[in-house]
Structure 1
Amino acid sequence: SSDVVVVGGGVIGLSTAYHLNELGFHNVIVIERDEITSGTTWHTNGLVWRLRPSETDITLLSRTHELTLLSRRGVEATGWINNGGLFLAHNSQRMQEYQRLHGLSKYYGIESHILDRKQTIALLDPLIDEKTSDLTGGLYSPNDGFVDPHMYCSALIKGGNVQVFSKCRLIGINTIDGFRRRKVNRVSVEYEGEVRDINTHCVVNCSGVWAPIVAKLAGIANIPQEAMEHSYVITEAIDGVKHNKTPNIRDHDLSIAFRVSGQSLCIGGYESDPVLISHKVHTLQPFGLFELNWDKFGVNLENSVKLMPIIGKTGIKATTCGPESFTPDHKPLVGEDPEVRGFFHASAFNSFGISLSGGIGYQMAKWLTTGAPEI
C-alpha cells in the first residue's frame, strides 16, 4: 500500500514526491514506465526564470530557484548555471510592461534591472549589431539560469529520499463509489514480469503528454491538453559567447528564446502552426524524438537572424524536436479531478515544466497533505 502513488518519473513527479517527503509523508512511491526523465523532461533546455507577469507564477518560480541550489545543502549537484536572464524590448509598449514587472520584482525581493538600449546591446556583445538593431532596452534578472534536467531530477531523488520504481508500467486504476463521485481505491502495475496491486487512495498524474492515457485508466474520458511537436536547435560555436556569462534571452515580440550551450546558442520558440500529435501519443517511445520540421521551425530561425545577424553566418550542429503538452489557456493542468476523488492532475506545462517544477511540486504536496494549496 502507499499513501500516494505518483505516476511519472519526470521533473514534476519527482518534485511532488520530494516535497511530500519534506512535509513528512514518507509512504510515497513514484512509478515510471521506463527511466527517470525519459518522457519529456530529458530533452528540455532547463531554463529557470525568476520573473513572470503573474504573482502566482513568481511564487512558483521562486521555489524552483531554491531547489536549483540543493547542492549548497550537501545534496547532489543540479547542474545549475547562474548566467542571468534578459527580456528584450523592441518598442515603448514592451518597455512599459517590463517597468511594471520590475516593480513587481521589487515587491517580491527579486533583483532585476531596467536596461536602456546601449546597456542591453553591451550585455549581449557580440550577438547584437548596434548599427541595425531596433532594440529599445530590456529587463535583466541576474539570478536566472538553467539546470541539467537529469542532474536536477537525480538531486530531487537523493535530497528527498524518493522511492522510484523504474520499468514499472501502470495498467489499471481501480475506483469505487463514494459520496457524490467515485474515488481512487487501488492501482495495478506490471513490474518485474508480474502484475501487482497497490492499495492507495491518492494518485497524482504527472505523466506529461501521456496524461490523457493515464486519466482514462481512472475512467476520465478527456482532459484539456494537446500534445505537439516542440523544437530547438543548437548553433556552432560563436566567438564571444560564454557558458556562464551570456544570459538566457527571451524576446516576447519575436516569440523566441535563447540559452547558452558552451560557446553555442540553443535557439527555441513557440511554433505558430505546430504539428499536433495527440492522436499518436500511445506510439511514442521513451527518449523518443522526431525529425525537425524546418518549414515549421523556419520562422523562429528567421526571427533569430533578424535579432542577431551573426546567427545567419553560423552553422547548426544539433536539432531537437520532441513531444510537449499544451493547454488552451497556456496554464498547466493542476488539481483534483472533479469526477474522481483522490485523482490529481499535474500535467501540460506548456514547455515551462522545469521553471515551474519546484513551485508546483510544493503546492501539490500541500494540497495532498492539508487539502488545499497555499496560493
Structure 2
Amino acid sequence: MPAAPADRPMHAVRIWLTIIAGLIAVMVLVGGATRLTESGLSIVEWKPITGTLPPLSVEQWTQAFDAYKTIPQYRELNAGMSLAEFKTIFWWEWSHRLLGRVIGIAFLLPFLWFIARGQLGSELKRRLWIIFGLGALQGAVGWWMVASGLSQRLEVSQVRLATHLVLALLIFAAIVWTLRQLTPRPKLAAPLRLRFTAMVLLGLTFVQLYAGALVAGLRAGRIYNTWPEIDGALIPSAERLWFEQPWWKNLFDNQLTVQFDHRMLAYALWALAIVHAIDAWRARAAAGGALALAVAITGQAALGVVTLLHAVPIGLGLAHQAMAILVLTLAVLQLAQFAVAEPARRAAGLGLGQPAQS
C-alpha cells in the first residue's frame, strides 16, 4: 500500500534504515566468511582512506604479501603460501573492510540530507547520531581486534572478536528497533510478564551471540563434535571445565568450557522461547511474533547441532550465523511489540507525521 502523503518523508527514512540494516547483516556474514577462511589477518595495516584501494600492480601485491609474511600466522600456519593463495584471503578481508566504509557513507550522507530537509525529530536525530557513533567505534574495534593477532598470536583474540561481532549486532538491533518505532501501530494490551520475558529473551540472545563468537574464535566447534554428549559426558568433569586459574579465565579461554556454556545457553534460550510462546498464545497478545521467535530458535538450535557434527564447514557455519541474525531480529521485534505506545510529544520527537520541509 502506498504511503500516505503526510507519511511519505518518514517512509523514505524507513527505506533508508532498512537498507542499512540489510548491509550490516551482509557485512556480518562476510565477516563470518573472513573468519572461517582464516583471512582476517591478511591485511596488517589500518589505512581508513588509502586502504580503500586494493593493490593495483605486481609491486603493490608483493609489498602486501611481504607485510603478511612478517606476522606469526604466516610463519606458523601458512609458510610457503603462494601469491595466488594470498590474494584469496586478501580479497575476503579487503571486501569486509570496504563494506564497512560503504555502510558508513550510506548511513552518513542520507542522514545529513534528511536533517537538512527537516524530516527527523530531535529524539530521532539523537538516536541516529548515537548509532553513527557506534559505527565509527566499530571501525576502531575492528582494528583493535586485528592488532591482537599481529605480534604473538596466530589468530585474533576471541574476546576481541566477540566484542566486534556483538557491537555490530547491537548496531543492527538498534536500527531494527528504531524502524519498529517509526512504524505506526496501535497500543498492545498485554500482561507485564510477557514484556519481561521478551526482555530476557533479547538479553539472553545477546549473551548467546557473544558465547558463539567465543566458540568461533577458539575454533571450539571443530574440537568437540559430538551431541548431546560433549567430551564423553552430558556434563564434563569439573576438572576439565575449570582447570585454568583464575577460574574465570575458563569462561573465555577454555575451549571445552566455552562450548559447553554455548550449549547450555542454547537450551535455556529455547526453553524460555517455548514458555513465552505458550504464554503469549494464552494471553492472545503478540502470539504470532512469539511463535515465529520460538520456531526460529528451534531451527537455529537444530542447525547448530548439524554444524557441530560436521565440524563447522563454511556453508553450515555461515547458515548458522545467518539464522542468528534472524533470531536477533525477531527477538527485537517481539520486545518492540510490547513497547508503550508513543505519546504525541515523543512521536513528534521521532518525526512521525511531520511533512517534509524545504
Normalising to structure 1: TM-score of the pair?
Answer: 0.24
Normalising to structure 2: TM-score of the pair?
Answer: 0.25
Q: Give 1 or 2: higher helix fraction.
A: 2
Structure with greater Cα Rg: 2
Q: Give 1 or 2: higher strand fraction.
A: 1
